[in-house]
Amino acid sequence: MDETQIASLLKSSDLFPLPQSLKLSYGTAGFRGDATLLASTVHRVGILSSLRSLKLAPSTIGLMITASHNKVSDNGVKVSDPSGEMLSQEWEPFADQIANASSPQKLVSLIREFVEREEISIGDGGEGGEVWLGRDSRPSGEALLRAAEIGVSSVPGCVAVDLGVLTTPQLHWMVRAKNKGLKATEKAYFESLTTSFKCLIDLIPFNKSSGSKLVLDGANGVGGEKMEELLRGYLSNLAIEIRNTGRDGGVLNESVGADFVQKEKVVPLGFGVNDVGVRCVSFDGDADRLVYFYLSSGEKKIELLDGDKILSLFALFVKEQLNVLDDGCCRLGVVQTAYANGASTDYLKGLGLEVVFAKTGVKHLHEKAAEFDVGIYFEANGHGTILFSEDYVTLLVDKRKGLSEGSDECNAVSRLVAVSNLINQAVGDAISGLLLVEVVLRHMGWSVQKWNELYKDLPSRQVKVEVPDRTAVVTTSEETEALRPLGIQDAINGEIKKYRRGRAFIRPSGTEDVVRVYAEATTQEDADSLGDSVAQLVKSFLGSS
């Protein structure tokens, strides 16, 4: 880096001083926190995004301003790699370092060292860098996006492209499309979803119906707004009633949205006794998660169809198509975390599916799912997708050429290809997920109640135990068993044996000195008891703070 380049970085960094005592860590969700404290962080991630683009030139990088399901006063920033996937984990330590650099001079020193180590060429007449910026509908988003823009532009040869208000999955999809040389506009995103959705609807036998209307809880966020655009301009014949759009004074993620519904298991604001039996769905604030639900009575309690149920529905549908092909050339896999309800795992294994576990966090599930020809992953919170390897999609397209149009085999191939285009290959996407759920329910001729009968969730309990040092707990890569402290897993196993269909595990938090306990059993009383006894084991082995 020459003096001009250093001066450019110093000048822009002086505009965004680091707030005192701010300490952030880049995780699956990027950086998140109080929006009023994040300008320096977002600015620095803008610099990082430019460096990433130059490192991988000629590739476009994505930068999204969002705090997803967090409260409206929060915001955050995350980076999309050229594939549309999350920022490479190899760059996360650098993100932490520059976000927490105490001064512009320290920041530039870290950048200079990193640029030399990674051999990144800046402003030498080679390929320039390009960063696409998006933001959700939070009031703080526009100012933070300007900070990101200044950060990107402070790296000579790099340009920022403001794409405006988007869902997080839209930005990831567009970055992926851009780097694949495809049309990469919001219009192209909507058209891709529309074309594949209509193809799947046309392939449904006997024009089956999935029953009642669908009502969407938009979490007062960007997802409801974008769903309205899709219905207005592309799928006008799809009957969806949208509530909690944010226009009626509702607050983003406040007693609404997928995170609230999944955790509290009660109806969001705007839903009540008149919705008994109606098929309902909730997005989170930036529309990368969804959960379905329905009221079985006039009370606030709901029947929840979470990410595990969505995964099971998708797996059943994909397996049905593969069974028609019966050529044995596709390796289908399902990826879950240890938090997946044991009843869902038993159901999936009962279908004859290969079920594997990954560490908590969608970046770990995504990586594992990519090892299959078709890999399906969902967390219980409703974040997930289906990954199709490019080689397998090419094989399907070639195979279709030799099949008789209208035959069962041809229809199965066409469905799989359409699913690969409908479902977001880059990241969990509530809009594309909703469309696929609606297609599959109609294909099966199922109501939401019939879908819910696939299996009955085992009662579960989660406990958080404060400890002096969470790093004393070391688990297997799947987080299903504890390797340290020595003896604790044997003690946990001893407790598990006391309960019918008992299962429990512990894992250290990634951000605070607590150990998380998960337990399940055939009754809620047993799940509570098992959770409490394992929590006591954690305290006795590690002490409590």
Annotated binding site: 68, 284, 286, 288, 379-381, 507-511, 516
Measured in whole angstroms, the distance separating CA 241 from the mean position of its chain's CA atoms is 24
Tokens for 290, please give them.
Answer: 């969804």
Q: How far apart are CA 405 and CA 403, in angstroms?
A: 6
Q: How far apart are CA 254 and CA 219, in angstroms?
A: 8
Q: Which amino acid is at 93?
A: P
Measured in whole angstroms, the distance separating CA 451 from the mean position of its chain's CA atoms is 23
HSE, side-chain direction, 13 A CA sphere, residue 489: 13
**What value does the CA radius of gyration of the chain take, rounded to a whole number of Å?**
24
How does DSSP classify residue 471? G
H-assigned helices in 275-404:
307-325, 342-350, 362-369, 390-401
Selecting among 50, 53, 68, 196, the annotated active-site residue is 68
Tokens for 339, please give them.
Answer: 């938090």
The answer to whether residue 68 is catalytic is yes
Q: Residues forming the annotated binding site for Mg(2+)?
A: 68, 284, 286, 288
Q: Residues forming the annotated binding site for substrate?
A: 379-381, 507-511, 516
Closest CA to 311 of 332, 282, 286: 332
Closest CA to 422 of 324, 521, 370, 414: 414
Tokens 């290809």 sit on residue: 417
Pairing mode, if any, of strands 482-484 and 214-217? Answer: unpaired
Annotated catalytic residues are 68
